[in-house]
Amino acid sequence: MFISWYWLLLVVVLVVGYVHALRRRYKACRHERDAVYEGYQRAQAELKRFQRAGQTK
């Protein structure tokens, strides 16, 4: 069975493109996850601050 060189090249390009897209998506998700976690930590700090202010009165 004969497979042309351009079909092999097409498969390689598709695989490389797919892997590249997955890596970009993972990086974006990681960045978003870090931002959400940072916001959560800020909210926790604010709640603790409000609780401390309420206890001193």
Q: What is the pTM (predicted TM-score) of this model?
A: 0.51
Within-domain flag for 33: yes
Look up the domain containing 38 and give its range: 28-52
| Domain count of the fold of the chain | 1
> Could you give the CA distance from residue 43 to residue 36 in angstroms, rounded to a whole number?
11
pLDDT of the residue at 11: 95
Within-domain flag for 57: no
Within-domain flag for 1: no
Within-domain flag for 15: no
Within-domain flag for 8: no
DSSP 3: -
> Could you give the CA distance from residue 33 to residue 51 in angstroms, rounded to a whole number?
27
24 pLDDT band, cuts 50/70/90, is confident
pLDDT of the residue at 1: 62
> Could you give the CA distance from residue 36 to residue 42 in angstroms, rounded to a whole number?
10
